[in-house]
Amino acid sequence: MKKYSIGYTQGVFDMFHVGHLNILLRAKELCESLVVGVNADALVMDYKMKRPVIPESDRMRIVESVKYVDKVLLAQTLDKEAMWHLVGFNALFIGSDWKGSERWTETALRMSEHGVDTVFPSHTDGISSSMLRTLINI
């Protein structure tokens, strides 16, 4: 039996790469069911001020094809408490590169009030969608 019944992670998953795959694998190793929120195009535009290279419908199809993923939903918010009310997860996964940041320290504290553990799987160094955008000049 795995440590958590339902795990949740969320991201843009633009230009899907091995770092994305690694966080999904590491999360699934710890939970029976892994739910993944793919950030909506409008949400990404709102907080990153840039449109994803791959449209949300295609990003959702890519993520749902990964064998570690049990369910995919379109995320319209970055608010993890709102997502918890929708999904009911008991573990929230975010890459270790965010550990110790003000945003994620506060999020982990708020989620712990709901009995949710925030888990920081190892970040895959040397790859990111932002780096790929720079390499191909977009």
Residue 94's domain is classified under what CATH number? 3.40.50.620
pTM of the model: 0.92
Give residue 37's domain range.
4-135
Written as six digits, the tokens of 106 are 């506060």
Distance between CA 113 and CA 110 in Å, rounded? Answer: 5
Amino acid at 115: G
What mean pLDDT comes out for the span 64-89? 98
User: Tens digits of per-residue pLDDT, 79-138?
Assistant: 999 999 999 999 999 999 999 999 999 999 999 999 999 999 998 877 777 776 676 776
Phi, psi for residue 3 in degrees, rounded to 5: -65, -35
Mean pLDDT of the chain: 94
User: Which pLDDT value is given to residue 125?
Assistant: 74
Phi, psi for residue 72 in degrees, rounded to 5: -125, 140
> Helix (H, G, I), strand (E, B), or coil: what is residue 25?
helix
Q: Who has greater pLDDT, 129 or 2?
A: 2
Q: Which element (helix H / strand E) includes 27?
A: helix 18-28
Query: What total of structural domains would you count in the chain?
Result: 1
